[in-house]
């Protein structure tokens, strides 16, 4: 078991293993997202209150899930990098950050679009919206900090520390924003108090969530692989792969 | 007979020496102590000009304005926290010393709070008068700022330590630190708001204290790790 993990930590082995894994995740992502969106957008029954506009949930909720999980994975990768000095973890963290920021933006944007038919406005200072917006700024901070260092090693370690600090703060921010909102006014709109969904509605949602996760894993693998090639470009196995050395 | 002898005492002596050195240095550069205060007063002056001089309107938004302006003033002073020590190399000496770095970093942050956070908290009631802040909330304003700015100094020091090695870290520093300031802002401004409405403020102050306790126990290690990254990089 430990031998396998150590092997996975070496760029060469990770590259080899991910070559075999990658197509499966791409395939799963394509099938799940296609089935989920077709089912959710065309076949699931319309909501009795919101009509067809509720179908945006099939993009909104998976994106919001990913936005939060990616930050946590980034921090976990940061811990692995700082404690065990496994470079793959840092490469993965670096590659995850822009995807996480993009997913946070997708969640915010789809939420704003959804807000127009249901709340009659693009933006509400609702607790969830606010904490998502703060999450977006946290992503920007991590990406900007990594880009600001000229030495890659310092950049990696600084970004890891910031991701860890951020992940400790995310629950604190979330609960304080909830508190702030309830102080100001009672919750007029709440995503959680919607009537429980029937199976025909949440089954495609579950499929979409799984599809988004597969997509995240596939993209991270793909980007980490190209990052490995970039950082290890002078290594013998990479040059053999490129056909420079026979 | 060794040429150099370890000084008597351990971490306690080192912490006291760091405290004293930083206090003396800051008192010699008085403008660095005064500038955040002047900035605070200036920003507060801008709001009535920009929004409206109407006392009733100002009174309703005063708690938030005072807190946001104090937070920005504290943020501005952060960049100088480790900057001069980094430039003249004394930060490296601090890292090389056999004493625990988190404790020494905590001493530096304590001086920063003593000369930035505390004066801001003491000055806030004065500016509250300008914004016609309702009576009865002045003590809470000062107290919440004194408690909250200690957390702000601790959290901000992490960002300052991460960016001290960068030549233009100023804007990046605010990008890193401001999202982390939000919980403190919520409960700090909330305490003043509650005092105005006549609600109990102890819950808000207790949470500010809890945030400070968490920051006190975790931030020194993050600051120390960040300083090591910045120096070695």
Question: What is the per-residue burial (b if ≥16 Cβ within 10 Å, else e) of A154-177?
Answer: bbbbbbbbbbbbbbebbebbbebb
Q: Give the minimum alpha-carbon distance from B177 to chain A in angstroms, rounded to a whole number.
A: 8
pLDDT at residue number B167 = 78
Asked if the structure places residue B163 within a domain, the reply is yes
Q: Could you count the other beta carbons within 10 Å of the beta carbon of residue A42?
A: 9
Would you place residue A188 in the very low, low, confident or very high pLDDT band (cuts 50, 70, 90)?
very low
Nearest to B146 by CA among B124, B117, B123: B117
**pLDDT for the residue B176:** 92
A18–chain B nearest CA distance, Å: 31
Instruction: Report the chain A residue with the minimal C-alpha distance to residue B177.
Output: A141
Spatial contact of A140 and B179, defined as CB atoms under 8 Å apart: no
Does residue B175 lie in a domain region? yes
Distance from C-alpha of B198 to C-alpha of B185, rounded to nearest angstrom:
20
Q: Which residues of chain B make contact with A141, given a CB cutoff of 8 A?
A: 175-176, 179
The answer on pLDDT for A105 being more than 70 is yes
- The minimum CA-CA distance between B29 and chain A, rounded to whole Å, is 29
**Structure confidence at residue A187 (pLDDT):** 41
Please report whether residue B1 resides in a domain: no
- A151 with B233: Cβ contact below 8 A: yes
Contact between chains at A138 and B179 (C-beta distance less than 8 A): yes
- Burial B14-37, CB ≥16 within 10 A → b, else e: bbebbbeebeeebeeeeebeebbb
ipTM: 0.86
pLDDT of residue B215: 94
Confidence of residue A189 (pLDDT cuts 50, 70, 90): very low
To the nearest whole angstrom, how far is the Cα of B205 from the nearest Cα of chain A? 13
Is pLDDT at A100 greater than 70 in this prediction? yes
Please list every residue in chain B whose beta carbon sits closer than 8 Å to the beta carbon of residue A162.
Answer: 162, 176
- Domain of B91 in residue numbering reads as 11-232
Highest mean pLDDT among A5-9, A14-18, B81-85, B208-212: B208-212
User: Across chain A, what does the average pLDDT equal?
Assistant: 85
**Cβ contacts of A15 within 8 Å, gap of 6 or more:** A225, A228, A229
pTM of the model: 0.88
Task: Specify the CATH number of the domain A21-241.
Answer: 1.20.120
The answer to whether B176 and A169 are in contact (CB under 8 A) is no
Cβ of B165 under 8 Å from any chain A Cβ? yes
B157 in A contact zone (CB under 8 Å) = no
Q: For every one of its 233 residues, what pLDDT tens digit does chain B have, with 9 covering 90 and above?
A: 455 655 566 788 888 988 999 999 888 888 888 999 999 999 999 999 998 888 889 988 999 999 999 999 999 889 888 988 898 888 998 888 888 899 999 999 999 999 999 999 999 999 999 998 888 889 999 999 999 999 999 999 999 999 998 877 778 999 999 999 999 999 999 999 989 888 888 989 999 999 999 999 999 999 999 999 988 76
Residue A185 has pLDDT above 50, yes or no: no
pLDDT band of A231, cuts 50, 70, 90: confident
CA gyration radius, chain A: 21
Q: How many domains does chain B have?
A: 1
Residue A57 banded pLDDT, cuts 50, 70, 90: confident
B182 touches chain A (CB under 8 A): yes
Q: How far is B17 from chain A (nearest CA, A)?
A: 28
pLDDT of residue A214: 95
Inside any domain, residue B192: yes
Candidates B151, B155, B170, B182, partner chain A, best to mutate (most A CBs within 10 A): B182
- Give a yes or no: residue B104 inside a domain: yes
Test the A interface: residue of B176, B209, B228 with most A CBs within 10 Å = B176
Interface mutation target, options A131, A183, A185, chain B, most CBs of B under 10 Å: A183
Residue A5: is its pLDDT beyond 90?
no
In the DSSP assignment, the letter for residue A232 is T
**pLDDT at B182 (0 to 100):** 92
- In this structure, the dihedral spanned by the alpha carbons of residues B223, B229, B230 and B233, taken in order and rounded to 10 degrees, is 180
Q: Cβ–Cβ of A138/B226 closer than 8 Å?
A: no
Query: B156 and B179 in contact (C-beta within 8 Å)?
Result: no
Average pLDDT over residues A35-44: 86
Residues 6+ apart with CB under 8 A from B20: none
Asked whether the beta carbons of residue B186 and residue A177 sit closer than 8 angstroms, the reply is yes
Chain B contact set for A157 (CB, 8 A)? 229, 233
Taking CB atoms within 8 Å and a gap of at least 24, the contacts of B24-28 are B25/B84, B26/B111, B26/B115
pLDDT digits (tens, 9 = 90+) for A133-153: 999 999 999 999 998 888 888
A134 vs B contacts (CB less than 8 Å): 179, 182
């Amino acid at each position: 078991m430990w031998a396998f993990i150590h092997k996975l930590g070496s760029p060469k082995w990770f590259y080899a293993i991910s070559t075999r894994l990658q197509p499966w995740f791409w395939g799963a992502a394509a099938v799940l997202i296609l089935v989920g969106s077709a089912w959710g957008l065309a076949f699931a029954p319309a909501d009795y209150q919101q009509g067809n506009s509720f179908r945006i949930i099939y993009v909104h909720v998976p994106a919001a899930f990913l936005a939060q999980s990616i930050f946590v994975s980034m921090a976990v990768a940061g811990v692995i990098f700082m404690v065990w000095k496994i470079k793959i973890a840092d490469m993965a963290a670096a590659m995850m950050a822009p995807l996480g920021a993009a997913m946070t933006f997708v969640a915010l944007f789809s939420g704003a679009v959804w807000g127009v038919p249901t709340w009659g406005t693009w933006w509400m200072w609702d607790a969830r919206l606010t904490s998502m917006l703060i999450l977006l700024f946290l992503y920007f901070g991590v990406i900007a900090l990594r880009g600001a260092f000229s030495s890659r090693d310092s950049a990696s370690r600084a970004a890891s520390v910031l991701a860890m600090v951020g992940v400790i703060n995310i629950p604190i921010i979330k609960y304080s924003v909830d508190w702030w909102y309830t102080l100001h006014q009672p919750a007029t709109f709440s995503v959680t108090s919607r009537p429980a969904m029937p199976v025909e509605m949440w089954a495609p949602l579950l499929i979409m969530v799984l599809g988004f996760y597969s997509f995240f894993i596939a993209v991270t693998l793909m980007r980490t692989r190209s990052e490995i090639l970039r950082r290890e470009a002078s290594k013998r196995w990479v040059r053999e792969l490129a056909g420079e050395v026979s | 007979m060794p040429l150099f002898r370890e000084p008597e005492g351990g971490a306690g002596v080192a912490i006291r020496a760091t405290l004293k050195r930083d206090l003396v240095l800051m008192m010699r550069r008085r403008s660095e102590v005064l500038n955040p205060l002047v900035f605070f007063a200036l920003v507060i002056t801008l709001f009535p000009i920009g929004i409206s001089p109407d006392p009733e309107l100002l009174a309703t938004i005063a708690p938030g304005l005072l807190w946001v302006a104090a937070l920005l003033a504290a943020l501005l002073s952060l960049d100088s926290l480790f900057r001069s020590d980094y430039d003249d190399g004394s930060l490296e000496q601090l890292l090389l010393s056999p004493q625990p770095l988190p404790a020494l970093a905590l001493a530096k942050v304590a001086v920063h709070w003593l000369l930035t956070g505390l004066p801001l908290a003491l000055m806030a009631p004065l500016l509250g008068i300008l914004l016609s802040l309702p009576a009865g909330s002045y003590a809470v304003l000062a107290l919440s700022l004194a408690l909250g700015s200690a957390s702000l100094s601790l959290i901000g020091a992490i960002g300052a330590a991460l960016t001290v090695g960068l030549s233009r870290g100023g804007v990046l520093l605010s990008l890193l630190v401001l999202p982390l300031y939000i919980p403190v802002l919520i409960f700090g401004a909330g305490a003043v708001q509650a005092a105005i409405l006549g609600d109990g403020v102890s819950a808000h102050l207790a949470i500010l204290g809890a945030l400070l306790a968490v920051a006190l126990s975790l931030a020194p290690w993050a600051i120390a790790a960040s300083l090591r990254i910045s120096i070695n990089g």
